[in-house]
């Protein structure tokens, strides 16, 4: 099960996230981030919860809309679920990031790239609307957060200080527990399947095998969703 979960995290989740990205991109209200020079071109969903981040980057709580004075905070995976922010570490100060939403577009210039602790408050005083992109760092064993801060280049700066609270990263304990229990049941069922199914008709054996495989796939998906939201 461990091997299957790893394969799902790196390959299966990427396929499903790609399908979801295509669906999100067709929504008129969706937010799209484009920094193609650094390999970032992704649609953003409505929250930074595990369920949303399985489909692509999500908006941090308290994020504003494009054109407002409130910062736009976007959280995304760096390894799993298609790794939309895999190359966020390549972004440098002075780079341009384009944000589109509902037919409107804005250009943001990167001010700084920094590391911060999960849950810390980021001060954004004296700039135009800020864009904050967040993912885990280092990539495979994240201990803190990689943060890219940019300001909107095509509007006047605001004198009002703003701030944004970075997401707290950590395992989703309940999902991890459920996934491990289900994975254990699948493992026991697979090990004992020959003895249980000796007297079962062929159709029944086939149905039982399909049920075990589906349960295994569900366990992999639940375990993957228990990963820290910035993994």
Which residue among 120, 136, 165 closes a domain?
165
Q: Let me know: does 55 contact 43? Beta carbons within 8 Å.
A: no
**Beta bridge partner(s), residue 96:** 109
> CA 156, 158, 159 angle in degrees (round to 5)?
135
- The C-alpha angle with vertex 198 and arms to 2 and 191, in degrees rounded to 5, equals 15
pLDDT digits (tens, 9 = 90+) for 107-141: 999 999 999 888 888 888 666 788 999 988 887 77
Rg of the chain (C-alpha set): 21
pLDDT of residue 197: 60
Q: The domain spanning residue 103 has which CATH number?
A: 2.40.260.10
Evaluate whether residue 230 is within a structural domain. Answer: no
* Cβ neighbours around 201 below 10 Å, total: 9
Question: Contact 164/188 with Cβ under 8 angstroms?
Answer: no
Q: Is the pLDDT of residue 148 over 90?
A: yes
**Domain limits at 134?**
2-165
Residues 137 and 195 occupy one common structural domain: no
| Per-residue pLDDT reduced to its tens digit, 24-73 | 554 545 688 888 778 888 888 777 677 777 778 888 888 888 888 888 88
Residue 147 — pLDDT band, cuts 50, 70, 90? Answer: very high
Give the per-residue pLDDT at 159: 57
Check residue 45 and report its DSSP letter: B
Same-domain pairing of 90 and 38: yes
Apex 179 CA angle, 49 and 56, nearest 5: 30
In a shared domain, residues 153 and 186: no
pLDDT tens per residue across span 10-29: 666 665 666 665 665 545 45
Same domain, 160 and 182: no
With b for 16 or more beta-carbon neighbours within 10 A and e for fewer, the 159-182 pattern comes to eeebebebbebeebeebeebbeeb
Domain end: 135, 165, 195, which one?
Answer: 165
Rounded distance between C-alpha atoms, residue 227 and residue 156, angstroms: 40
User: By CB neighbour count within 10 A (0-12 exposed, 13-18 middle, 19+ buried), where does 150 fall?
Assistant: buried
Cα–Cα dist 70/59, whole Å: 12
Is the domain of 56 the same as that of 154? yes
pLDDT (tens digit per residue) in 160-176: 667 788 877 666 666 66
pLDDT of 149 reads: 92
State how many domains the chain has.
2
Residue 160 sits in the same domain as residue 177: no
> Which residues, 6+ apart, have CB-to-CB distance to 81 below 8 Å?
13, 14, 16, 17, 53, 54, 55, 56, 224
Residue 180 sits in the same domain as residue 132 = no
């Amino acid at each position: 099960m461990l091997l299957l979960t790893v394969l799902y995290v790196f390959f299966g989740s990427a396929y499903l996230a790609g399908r979801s990205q295509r669906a999100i991109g067709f929504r008129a209200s969706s937010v799209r981030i484009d920094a193609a020079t650094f390999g970032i071109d992704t649609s953003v969903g409505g929250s930074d919860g595990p369920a949303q981040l399985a489909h692509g980057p999500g908006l941090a709580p308290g994020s504003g809309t494009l054109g407002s004075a409130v910062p736009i905070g976007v959280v995304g995976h760096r390894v799993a679920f298609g790794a939309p922010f895999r190359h966020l570490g390549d972004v440098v100060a002075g780079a341009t990031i384009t944000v589109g939403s509902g037919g409107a577009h804005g250009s943001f210039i990167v001010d700084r790239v920094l590391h911060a602790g999960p849950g810390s408050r980021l001060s954004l005083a004296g700039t135009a609307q800020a864009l904050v992109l967040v993912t885990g760092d280092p990539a495979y064993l994240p201990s803190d957060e990689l943060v890219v801060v940019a300001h909107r280049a095509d509007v006047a700066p605001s004198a009002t200080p703003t701030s944004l609270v970075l997401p707290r990263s950590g395992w989703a304990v309940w999902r991890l527990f459920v996934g491990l229990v289900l994975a254990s049941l699948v493992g026991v069922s697979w090990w004992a399947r020959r003895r249980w199914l000796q007297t079962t008709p062929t159709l029944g054996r086939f149905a039982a095998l399909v049920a075990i495989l589906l349960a295994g796939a569900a366990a992999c998906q639940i375990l993957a969703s228990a990963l820290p939201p910035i993994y």
